[in-house]
């Protein structure tokens, strides 16, 4: 699938609707689209996991990272599966093989446009239902038995109780699996978060997608279009304060709003209210 450069918010909105709207109405009776999205704020537009960003033999340190995270994070124990622990670590910045996605193209566009206004951005969409048709039988059987679009951590653990189990299932044909993280806090719920795991930790996600070109789409936003999209998102209340409902999100929202490069307003002006609220 070639990356398409868009010329306006309207064009981008129409293109997103073409790939996500009809699929949501016909795919297995799901109440929402089967396409998940990820935004990148600047080149290089790689879909690398945090683990793959480490230098050296990152595959060899994966288990050490998880073991020590579980050992020292025992006061905040998630669910009982390895996938619960991976989701918790990913959420707090631990390098894992997971990659973050969202069902909301607007959320993905927020992360693509909130920083680096002078750089081009990228929005990627993947049809997770189509990707799951390529899963090995043990995983596919679990998904079919539940009639679900995505795995939960418990469902994933039935067929792949640990990382070795996942790797063995994909030994001959690597696969990409999508699952919903547990609701660890409001951010995950608000951002409609989805996580993916590739069975071959040494293979970049974009390489797997390159081998399956019918499963994904990508749209490039030049800096001028990026600015237009950012303005539309802010008008709709899609910002740090709404998507990260804590003090970190509030601080990030204010920092961007009052940045001279992002919004050349007078210092005396206040940010607009969020979600129709009052100042």
Better-scored residue on pLDDT, 20 or 29 = 20
Quote the tokens at residue 85.
């622990």
Q: 9 and 61 share a domain?
A: yes
Is 60 exceeded by the pLDDT of residue 269?
no
Residues 226 and 267 in one domain: no
Residue 139 pLDDT class (50, 70, 90 cuts): very high
User: Containing domain of residue 266, as a range?
Assistant: 239-279
* Mean pLDDT (whole number) for 104-112: 96
- Answer left, alpha or beta for residue 120, where phi above 0 means left and psi between -120 and 50 means alpha: beta
Q: Assign 278 a pLDDT band (cuts: 50, 70, 90).
A: very low
Residue for token digits 């100042």?
279
pLDDT tens, 83-107?
A: 999 999 998 899 999 999 999 999 9
75 and 201 inside one domain:
yes
- For the chain, how are helix, strand and coil distributed in percent, rounded to 5? 45, 15, 40
Cβ neighbors of 239 (< 8 A, separation 6 or more) are 110, 114, 233, 253, 256, 274
Q: How many domains does the chain have?
A: 2
- For 210-219, what is the mean pLDDT? 96
**pLDDT higher than 70, residue 279:** no
Quote the pTM value: 0.86
Q: Are residues 207 and 279 in the same domain?
A: no
Q: Over pLDDT 90: what percentage of the chain?
A: 65
What is the distance between the alpha carbons of residues 178 and 101, in angstroms, rounded to a whole number?
Answer: 9
Average pLDDT score over the chain? 87
Q: Are residues 32 and 130 in the same domain?
A: yes
Distance separating alpha carbons of residues 235 and 267, to the nearest angstrom: 20
Cβ–Cβ contacts within 10 Å for residue 202, how many? 13
Contact between 181 and 107 (Cβ < 8 Å): no
Instruction: With a cut of 60, say whether residue 275 has pLDDT above it.
Output: no
Both tokens assigned to 53: 């960003």
124 φ/ψ angles, rounded to the nearest 5 degrees: -120, 135
Is residue 144 located within the same domain as residue 278? no
Given pLDDT bands bounded at 50, 70 and 90, which one contains residue 263? very low
Q: Report pLDDT for 32.
A: 73
Quick one: pLDDT at residue 242? 82
- Say whether both 227 and 258 belong to one domain: no
- C-alpha pair distances (Å), 189 with each of 63, 89, 243: 28, 17, 9
**Percent with pLDDT over 70 in the chain:** 87
Same domain, 233 and 244: no
Q: Is the domain of 43 the same as that of 103?
A: yes
Q: What is the mean pLDDT of residues 194-216?
A: 94
DSSP of 138-190? HHHHHHHHHT-SSB-HHHHHHH-SSHHHHHHHTSSS--EEEEPPP--SHHHHH
CA distances from 267 to 155, 233, 252, 254, 259 (A): 51, 22, 17, 12, 10
Clarify whether residues 202 and 259 are in a common domain.
no
Give residue 162's pLDDT.
Answer: 95
Both 227 and 257 in one domain: the answer is: no
Same domain for 128 and 264, yes or no, is no
Q: How confident is the model at residue 21 (pLDDT cuts 50, 70, 90)?
A: low
């Amino acid at each position: 699938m070639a990356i398409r450069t868009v010329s306006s918010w309207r064009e981008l909105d129409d293109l997103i609707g073409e790939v996500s709207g009809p699929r949501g109405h016909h795919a297995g009776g799901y109440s929402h689209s089967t396409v998940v999205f990820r935004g990148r704020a600047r080149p290089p537009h790689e879909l690398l996991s945090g683990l793959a960003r480490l230098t050296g033999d990152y595959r060899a340190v994966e288990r050490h990272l998880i073991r020590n995270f579980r050992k020292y994070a025992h006061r905040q124990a998630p669910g009982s599966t390895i996938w619960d622990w991976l989701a918790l670590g990913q959420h707090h910045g631990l390098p894992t093989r997971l990659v973050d996605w969202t069902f909301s193209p607007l959320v993905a566009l927020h992360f693509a446009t909130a920083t680096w206004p002078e750089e081009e951005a990228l929005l990627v969409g993947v049809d997770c239902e189509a990707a799951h048709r390529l899963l090995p039988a043990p995983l596919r059987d679990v998904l079919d038995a539940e009639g679900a679009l995505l795995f939960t951590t418990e469902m994933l653990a039935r067929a792949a109780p640990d990382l070795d189990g996942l790797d063995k299932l994909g030994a001959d044909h690597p696969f990409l699996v999508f699952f919903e993280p547990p609701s660890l806090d409001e951010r995950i719920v608000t951002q409609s978060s989805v996580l993916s795991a590739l069975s071959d930790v040494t293979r970049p996600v974009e390489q797997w997608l390159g081998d399956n070109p019918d499963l994904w789409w990508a749209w490039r936003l030049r800096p001028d279009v990026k600015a237009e999209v950012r303005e539309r998102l802010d008008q709709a209340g899609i910002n740090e304060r709404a998507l990260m409902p804590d003090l970190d999100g509030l601080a990030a929202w204010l920092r961007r709003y009052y940045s001279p490069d992002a919004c050349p307003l007078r210092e005396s002006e206040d940010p607009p209210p969020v979600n129709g609220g009052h100042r």
